[in-house]
């Protein structure tokens, strides 16, 4: 199955390959990522392999997930990832993270905008949802800069490291995609 590549100015968003496994492993050891993303602990190379092989690649082939690795177009340096989980017809949920070495450069915001615009155009979506644990200010800033409206704080809505935590929820409609 041919998977799309999205050109977004200084970024290229491409499908994951098996060569990305060591990078996913290294980035997933980041304490900030481990704090807000539900990752196995301790995180091992086989966890990175599972993510790339089963979620990013196989999920894309099944049509349940659309995972993109964000690279700097001019260098090919890996910078981050954006993923969409396709839910009920017309909807998806977005998730993203950035390599600690690439933070504060606008990677996530630009990548999220590009993936959302592409998904509305190519997959007939009407709504993309975003959620994050309350306190994940970096994720919230990205969502808001990308055009998402934060709609609610829901109590004990996410399950993280064996504990229920409050979550921010937001959405982006097709006509709001910048």
Every domain of the chain and the residues it spans: 6-128
Q: What architecture (CATH level 2) is domain 6-128?
A: 3-Layer(aba) Sandwich (3.40)
Q: What is the pLDDT of residue 92?
A: 97
**Tens digits of per-residue pLDDT, 115-152?**
999 999 999 999 999 999 999 999 999 999 999 999 99
Cα Rg of the chain (Å, integer):
15
Q: Going by C-beta distance under 8 Å and a sequence separation of 6 or more, which residues neighbour residue 137? A: none
15-37 burial string, b = 16+ CB within 10 Å, else e?
bbeeebbebbbebbebeebbebb
Q: Which class for 104: exposed (0-12), middle (13-18), buried (19 or more C-beta within 10 A)?
A: exposed
Residue 2 pLDDT = 59
Q: What are phi and psi of 66, to 5 degrees?
A: -125, 100
pLDDT of residue 120: 96
Task: Map residue 38 onto helix, strand or coil.
Answer: coil
The answer to whether 68 touches 81, Cβ cutoff 8 Å, is: yes
pLDDT score, position 161: 82
Confidence of residue 8 (pLDDT cuts 50, 70, 90): very high
> Could you report the per-residue pLDDT of 30-64, keeping only the tens digit for each?
999 999 998 998 999 999 999 999 999 998 888 88
Statement: residue 1 has pLDDT above 60: no
């Amino acid at each position: 199955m041919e998977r799309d590549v999205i050109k977004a100015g200084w970024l290229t968003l491409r499908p994951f390959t098996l060569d990305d496994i060591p990078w996913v492993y290294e980035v997933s050891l980041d304490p900030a990522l481990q704090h807000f993303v539900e990752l196995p602990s301790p995180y091992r190379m086989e966890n990175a392999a599972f993510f790339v092989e089963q979620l990013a690649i196989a999920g894309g082939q099944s049509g349940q997930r659309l995972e993109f690795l964000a690279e700097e177009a001019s260098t090919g340096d890996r910078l981050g990832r954006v993923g969409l989980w396709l839910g009920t017809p017309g909807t998806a949920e977005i998730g993203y993270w950035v390599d600690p070495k690439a933070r504060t450069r606008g990677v996530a915001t630009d990548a999220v905008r590009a993936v959302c615009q592409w998904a509305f155009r190519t997959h007939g979506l009407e709504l993309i949802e975003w959620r994050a644990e309350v306190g994940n200010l970096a994720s919230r800033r990205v969502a808001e800069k990308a055009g998402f409206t934060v709609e609610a704080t829901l109590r004990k809505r996410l399950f993280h490291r064996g504990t229920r935590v409050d979550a921010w929820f937001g959405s982006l409609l097709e006509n709001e995609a910048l």
